[in-house]
Structure 1
Amino acid sequence: MIHIQWDGIDVEKTPKVFINGIDVTEHEDISFFGSRFTKKYSLIVYDSELSKTVSNIEIKDIPKELETITISLLLDFLDDVEKIDISYTEEFETAILNFRYFWDWEHWKQPYSIQEFADTMEKILYEYEEQGLKWVQEDEILTNGCHIKYIFNGNTQSTIKEIIAGIEPVLKEIVERAYAVLYSNTSDHSLISSFNFPPEVRTACEQYLVYFVQFLQDIGIEATSSIKNEAGITLFSVTPTSSEDALEQIKAALEIYLELPVSMENSSYVQVDLDPKVHQLIANVHHLSSQLSLSQALVQAQKVTIQNQQITITQQQQFIDSTILQQALISNQNEDKEEILGGTVSITKYQGNGFEVNIPNIFRWTKKLIGKE
């Protein structure tokens, strides 16, 4: 609870502010200021622990004298957001949260500019206005501030923490789409794909991606690859060594490669006289499957022992299976699927519509499908 108290009858003095009954007016990690004439004040909380305390306050309990509360909370998927402004209008029962961006211009090392990031966020957030979200640039000069504005018209008994948690999945989706767009535009000579792997299977999935270069070589495409992590997102870059190999062919091959764990899961085949390259591919798929099965078993064990996390664990269990590579792929589109090669194969979210694979002739089959043969 936040409470503002004037000292006796002298209303011209700056009032005191209390958080959960404790006077924090002179606290070193608090700034409390405003106008004694309008009786409108602002509260800035710099300390992260105090910010967590404030975030547990229900929005209906925000004093009407407080125009703005600013808390310092770091969100894993919003790297450059350090502060969140909260304001509440009792008359309209509306809360506004501003997720403020602060950039380190001197040490900026991304392959895209801050202006490009802001432009991309503005374009993507336009699609989310019906959900109360908007990109705001406070004036013509980008350095003067930008933020994601969120208008909340829900239950006034919701805490600030609950409101942030409620919109977090949408914000995460927006940021992931922005990264997918920005990184895909950083090179005309590379295919860059973004993945949001669950932490417990990230290593196994990244190991499987590394083998993709060998898969390309086996179908006659020479390429190099690199993997880096950005804000919890895996960025997988593939660059052909020859200009004769089109990125669309590599993209189509990647689509097939990502679906192999699903397509081969229930396939039956005789391993006698298989090409060694096919044996290697099967071994890599089986290694990934075993790692996913192990992770699923660990989640199941957690399910038994941690009852209060039942819903979260169930969702994780459903997610960690052979479709993980496709589920984790981040699209820079707002659709669920992007068709390529005239719709021959499609990528992004797994829809349950796998294709049959001729495993003994997998490489010849792939070359034919992507137009390499």
Structure 2
Amino acid sequence: MLKIEIRDHQRDIDDPSSQKKIIVVNSIEDVYSFYFELDGQKSGRIYDESVLEELIKYTPKQIGLFLDKIMYHKNLSSEEAFYAEIAIICHPEDDDESLSASVMFQTDFVNWNKPYSIAEMAEEISLIIESDDNPQYQYSEYDDEIITNGFGFAVSQIYEDRTLFELENELDEYIQKLLDRAISSIKSKLDPDVVLTSFIFPESIKTACKQYLIYFAQFLADLGIDASTEIKEDAHRTLFKVIPKDKFTSLEHIRNALSLYLNAPTADNLALIQTEANNDISVVQWQANILHLQSQLLITNSLLQLKDATIEQLKLSNYQYQNIIQSRSTIENEKEEEEVIKGVLSVKKYEGQGFSINFAEILRIMKRNLFRKQRE
């Protein structure tokens, strides 16, 4: 029999703010889970595999007695750098609505190195779901503007008396077929006669690096290879495509040339280039391109260092300013009081209704007059 409990859990015993509500399934705690309520809907996210294995033995109808919505993470094909966030509505807000689920694909866009973009993958999945014309499946996106935030599909009309294990197997089968079809379709559209690679440049040096890539077409021309290049931004990556104009040109030669070209800006390689064929105009032009890139990187690095130095200077100035304010505050406090007997008795300004008497200043004047008479 299913029993789901919501317990308070504090990760750090010394930090009261670390307390949260976690989910316990049949006495098995998931300390990484969390429970929350939003607009009256009780939701829970599961992370612990043992808790999830216990939970999928039950039906959405049984889970719906405790939670309206359950969410968990599922790994997919590691080759495609995909994983999925699955959410199941176990108890709909409206009694007329059926149970439903959503599968939102997430991608490791930082390490994405496929010959097609994430946006192309999402578009292909959308076209497949639309062409299947199955009302049970609808394409969806987490954010209309940023595709890397997630894309996938929603599933309606889930049978409430089938276990989550059965539902997950059904989803697994559909997901695998969907991804296989999408990848196969995309690859069939790719031009096999191009070299496509991608880069993730920091924003501070992206412009300089892209400018260096533009010179690669001239570098190939100097090697006797006639080709054009394309640079495109996609999902935080820079896609670089080389298209040889002669289809009989070896792509392997282009890849080797690109590898040499990209590694040339290192100091050792540049020294090697400078010792060979100094009279060749193409080598001189290549050296100029390398030096230009290095100078841009040097300027960028100097600006970053200057920025860091400016921040440190501002911190120092702020510290000194705080000390000045604190010193002035101390002086002001000292002016407000005057000691009669050091460490024992002191007087300060008295505020009455419509008047004030500054006893501290009166005492200071008396002390100065007394001191002056003693000197005379």
Q: TM-score of the superposition, structure 1-length normalised?
A: 0.43
Q: Whose Rg is larger?
A: 2
**Larger relative CO (CA 8 A, sep 6+): 1 or 2?**
1
Q: Which has the higher helix share?
A: 2
